[in-house]
Structures are given as C-alpha cells and as structure tokens.
Structure 1
Amino acid sequence: MTAQDRINDYWTGRAPAYDAYQQRPERRAADEVAWSGVWKDALPAGPLDVLDVGTGSGQVAMTLAGIGHRVTGIDLSEGMLERARAHAATAANAPGFRLGDAVAPDFPDASFDAVVNRYVMWTLRDPETALANWIRLLRPGGTVAVIDSTWFTDRSELGFYDEEIQAALPLAAATSIHATEKVLRAAGLHDVTVTALDAIRELDETFGVAPGHHVLTQYLITGRRLTGRP
C-alpha cells in the first residue's frame, strides 16, 4: 500500500466526523455567508467552469455552485465523495463529484476557468507537479485559488500520518504561508496575491475550531494564467 493509499484511507475514516464539523448547525449560516464572500472575491464573476481538487465532503464545491458556477469536485477518498454526493443530491445547480487525483487530474487541457482547493496544499505529495497540471487545465486568463494555513509547524502534531507519509508531503510542516505562495509563483502564475481571511478567523474565534487545532489565520492565495502557455 502506497503512502497515498494510506492518506486516502485516513480521510475515508475521518469523513463522517469531518463532515459533521463542517455542517455544525450553530455555525452553518455564518459560514455560508463568509465563505461565499471569500470565493466571490477569489474568482471572476461567473458562471465559470471550476475544478475543486481534493474536494473532500464537498463544501467548497457546494459554495461555488451556490454562487452560480459550474463545478466539478474530485477526491481520492471514497468516503469523502460519498458525503459530497449526499449533499449534492439535495441542491440545485449541484456540483458533479468523481474519483480523481488532485496531483494529476484526468481532464483535457484548457477544460476549466478556475482550479481551486481548500486545506489541500499541505497534504499534497508533489505540489509542484500538481500546479503544473492545474495550469495545464486552465484556459488562458484562468485562475488558481487555494486556501490553507500553517496547520502543523510542530511535526509532532502530524502523528495521524506515519513517518513515510510525512516525508512525502513537502508543505505539511511549513512554518509560513509563503512556502505555499512560492509554489504558485515558481509554477509561472502571474499576479500572485496572498490575502489573510480575517472574517474566517473571527468565526473560528467565536465558534471554536476542530479538536486538535488552534485558531490560526487562513490565507487565500491566487494567481492567473495569462496566455496559452503557463
């Protein structure tokens, strides 16, 4: 079993609790407002064709669809996809969800106006290859938009992944969000910007964060593909 297989199994096991946390009733309405605002700021006005890589239980994909985009979500965790499809079954303009690798999405070149993800960069086994593939999937002028933070600056907090997995994830223990920014810049994206998501931090301070986590500033990092070539 590969390190990626073990990552997939871990997130399938985590799927019920992870999704329940994302759907907490006391916070859900505030999250919908705040995250809709984040994604409206991150992407041009739509409707756009958007690929959500590492979609998990589908919250980002559902939010993007809710503001009018045409969304496809991919993930390698069948347990997470099961949750995402259950949410989509009750929604108008529902995203489509399918099994797929965030590092190597299986779509034709220039299929999307935007490639997005949230809380995925830190757990990518090869972020440079992933960025090259995402850019290949973008139409000229398309956007890459990622959201992440420095979740595990102390490697001891990564104990849910074994040592082999930890060693395979270059950004897992990054001490600055600029490590993620550098990956986007090195990939050849233009107009790369980093934005602190203060509204999300305020919600975390009000409602609390997932067990084992601390309140941290999350960041939106965006960049554009300007021409037909990355």
Structure 2
Amino acid sequence: MTDQQATDQQATDQRATTDSLVQANISQYWSERADSYDAFQVSQLRNGAIRQAWLGVWRRALPAPPVDVLDVGTGTGHVALLLAELGYRVTGLDHAEGMLERARAKAADVPSNAPTFVRGDAVAPDFPPASFDAITARYVLWTLRTPERALENWRKLLRPGGVLAAVDSTWYPDGIDSGPTDGDAHPTFRLRYTDEVLAALPLAQAKSIEETAERIRAAGFAKVAVTPLQEIYELDEKYGVAPGHKVQMQFLITGVAS
C-alpha cells in the first residue's frame, strides 16, 4: 500500500467511525422519544380532518396502489400504516429500535396488508436495486447524514419512473437553539444532537426548503417539485402541534427516478 493509499484508507475509516457515532446518537434520541412521539402521532390520526389530509397528501404524490413502497425513517409507522390503508405494499425502515417496537406493535393489530418493519440505515438501505416503485420520507431529510449519498442510494432502489415523495420543513433556519427543541419534556435533544452531530447533518439548519430540493436534483431525480402543504398548516393552526414546536409550513418535495 502506498502512502497515499494509506492516507485515503485512514480518511475512509475516520468517516465511517464518525458516521457510526453520529447515527448512534440520533438513533438513541429517537428510541428515547418513541413513547411520547408515538402518543402525539396517534392523537393526530384520531382527528378525522388531519387523517384525511395526510391520506390526501400521499394519495396525490404516489402512483396508484398496489405498488411497492419503502418508507425511509418510518419511526413509529405513521406514514407506513396510512399507505397500507390506501392499499400500498409497504416496507418501513428505521434505525431506532425503540421506534420500530412501536411500529411493529401497531402493525400487529392491522387485519390485512400490514406493513413490514425492518431495522436499517436510511443512508444505505439494504435492498436490491429497483426494488420499489416509490419511496416516502417524512421528517427524515433534515436529520440525515450525507443526504447526497442517501438520495443517490434511494434513486437506485427505485424502478424506472419510480417516485420519491418527501415531507419536511426548515425546522431550524435560525440555528438549532432558536427553533423547536422539544422543551423540558425532552431534555436529551441537545445531549444527542450535539454540535458534532449537527456538523454531519447539512440540512438540519437549512434556511430554505430549496436546499433540500437541490440535493434531490443533484442525486439524479427528474421533475423535482416543491409543494407547500397549506392544508396541513391550517390544521396545525387549528388543532396545535407537538409540545415544544411551533406551527410551520411543511413542504412536499417530489422527484422521479429515470
């Protein structure tokens, strides 16, 4: 091995170590959050207007069912279960075991067409190329390390003409300590989302949703479009948002795999 090869290998090993530590912190935080996070999601879906609004978001964004959908960063299964209800064949993937436990418990009560939930890395989901017709990602891109690499991997998992449908917002445009911090109910937020972790998450403090859209374009997706979710915003104003958060415009970002 040449000196340059040794240097390159050392850099690769260091990146892998950093990635592992960053993801461990993120996964631990969301496992710790699983109970309270799921309680709020469940309460939202008990509201008929909110439930129908989210069903409409996904119905309009995705190809008609039944097709195969990967829900990346599925959490406690909020999106995966709605998609299954619409008739999609859904696989939900998450790295936080605490979140997956909640998702699997809810799926066990679904009488038919229940999603399958698996543990895995959102940056590099372990599936064969062209395994899915659509990929969904709700509130994932902001907390994703190396989103460029992740999006390229997601595109490869899609069949030709497959759709990416991501929902997110600019949660911390003025810095992580001036945005939603989950308040006193979740004091571990900044213990897990340290400055070192945030340095590895380029979209965590994005000032514009266009920063997210540009990365989707750069990953090779075509027909990238950003749609403000006005109905969701109005429902949040009417019924409230999660503790420690404020009402913010959310966006649907879609793209097509060529």
Q: Please give the TM-score of this superposition, normalised by the length of structure 2.
A: 0.85
Match of 2:144 among 110, 120, 124: 124
How many residue pairs get aligned? The number is 226
Provide the aligned C-alpha RMSD in A: 1.3
Q: Is the 2:44–2:51 contact (alpha carbons within 8 Å) kept by the matching residues of 1?
A: no
The CA deviation at 1:28 is: 3.1
Question: What per-residue deviation string (whole Å, max 9, x for no partner) do you get for residues 52-77 of structure 1?
Answer: 01000001000111100000000000
Distance 1:47 1:194 in 2: 25
Change (3 A) 1:93 1:167: same
1:164 aligns with 2:216: no
Match of 2:176 among 151, 155, 179: 155
Alignment of 1:17-96 (within 5 A): 17-24=36-43, 27-91=46-110, 92-96=112-116
The CA deviation at 1:30 is: 2.2
Partner letter of residue 204 of structure 2? A
Q: Please give the TM-score of this superposition, normalised by the length of structure 1.
A: 0.95
More helix by share: 2
Question: Which residue number corresponds to residue 123 of structure 2?
Answer: 103
SS at 1:2 equivalent? helix
Report percent identity of matched pairs.
Answer: 58
Question: Which residue number corresponds to residue 15 of structure 2?
Answer: none
Change (3 A) 1:87 1:102: same
Distance 2:36 2:84 in 1: 23
Q: Is the 1:27–1:207 contact (alpha carbons within 8 Å) kept by the matching residues of 2?
A: no
Q: Is the 1:151–1:213 contact (alpha carbons within 8 Å) kept by the matching residues of 2?
A: no
Distance 1:178 1:67 in 2: 29
Distance 1:215 1:25 in 2: 14
Alignment of 1:171-190 (within 5 A): 171-190=203-222
Distance 2:45 2:238 in 1: 11
Partner letter of residue 149 of structure 1? S
Distance 1:168 1:211 in 2: 26
Change (3 A) 1:47 1:164: same
Distance 1:222 1:26 in 2: 23
Distance 1:27 1:66 in 2: 14
The CA deviation at 1:26 is: 8.1
Partner letter of residue 194 of structure 2? D
Q: Is the 1:116–1:146 contact (alpha carbons within 8 Å) kept by the matching residues of 2?
A: yes
Change (3 A) 1:25 1:116: closer
Question: Which residue number corresponds to residue 7 of structure 2?
Answer: none
Larger Rg: 2
1:215 aligns with 2:247: yes
SS at 1:90 equivalent? coil
Change (3 A) 1:111 1:198: same
Partner letter of residue 18 of structure 1? Y
Change (3 A) 1:48 1:186: same
Distance 2:84 2:29 in 1: 27
Change (3 A) 1:220 1:41: same
Give unpaired runs (5+ residues) of structure 1: none
The CA deviation at 1:127 is: 0.3
Distance 1:14 1:25 in 2: 17
